[in-house]
Amino acid sequence: MPVRVFIDELTWPELEERLRATDIAYLPVGTVECHGPHLPLGTDLYVATAVCVLAARDTGGLVLPPLAYSFTGATSAFKGAVSVPMRLEAEFVKAILRSLWGQGFRRLFVVSIHGPNDAPLTLAVRELYEYDGVIAVYFNPYRVIRRLAGEADPAWLEACLAYASLTVLGKGHLVPDTSKLRRAEPPPIEAPGLEDIWRLGGVVGFRYTHPLQHMPPREGISVERGLELLRGAARALADMAEPLKLYVERATRGGVGACR
């Protein structure tokens, strides 16, 4: 029988036994939001969780139940988007990581593929280090996946990852017949000046104005390619376990880079 990686599936005696062998914990953070008419609202949640599961199988670490709700951003314009303020998200994640650190977990990873989570989750891990002496890594698998995927269409890529993640998580029944998907093109965002702000290097809040603007359907979706990319991201995450061990040991005993 395969080793269970989800912490919520263990009894507390089983967890105590596992903690004698590992101090690695993965916290997947997703979002619930529109991903076109063909992908589930939990797409980012599933991708983050699948990457954590694959990494945990390699490292022996444990995966926490995923945090579903976060700052959605531009998709807040559509039904099904469940958004929380960035500051609240950061504080909640910090509380979870403090609790894990207090129980002896020393290699903590927060994992999210949802772009708007970069801000609150980066804030969370930096503030934990600066003010609490807790060390955690924020990892966005999409950076690795984007590099591995080259010039692949983002909407095509998202669907490959979503359906592959459902397969990893035992939710393959949610994967539709991808041969029936047909390409759809989104209309432009109805926000004069927005494109120019982006072109000139600016960052500004915005909302999508049509559901197809966030991950429209594409043809030729490959679950197999999605699995390859998930495994590539999981390898990068797993490979960070040993460097993080060295860093935590040095930082917690004092010296250059020591945390408070």
DSSP-derived pairing of the beta strands 24-28 and 136-139: unpaired
Q: Could you please report the per-residue DSSP string of 220-232? A: S--HHHHHHHHHH
Domain membership of residue 121 as a residue range: 7-253
**According to the model, what pLDDT value does residue 255 have?**
55
The Cα–Cα gap between 135 and 101 comes to 8
CA–CA separation, 33 and 40 (whole Å): 8
Residue 144 placed within a domain: yes
In this structure, is residue 2 part of a structural domain?
no
Asked if residue 260 is part of any domain, the answer here is: no
- Those residues whose C-beta lies under 8 Å from the C-beta of residue 91, and which sit 6 or more positions away, are 124
Asked if residue 259 belongs to a domain, the reply is no
Task: Give a yes or no: residue 258 inside a domain.
Answer: no
CATH code, domain carrying 204: 3.40.50.10310
Provide mean pLDDT across the span 222-245.
Answer: 98
pLDDT of residue 257: 56
Question: How confident is the model at residue 258, as a pLDDT?
Answer: 60
Q: Does residue 61 fall inside a structural domain?
A: yes
Pairing of strands 24-28, 107-111: parallel
Residue 13 lies in a domain: yes
| Model confidence at 256: pLDDT above 80 | no
**Token duo for residue 97:** 């990581």
Closest CA to 35 of 216, 247, 231: 216
Q: Give 170's pLDDT tier (boundaries 50, 70, 90).
A: very high
Give CA–CA dist 192/64, Å, rounded. Answer: 42
Mean pLDDT (whole number) for 105-128 = 98
Domain-located, residue 1: no
Structure tokens at 188: 């432009």
Residue type, 214: H
Q: How many domains does the chain have?
A: 1
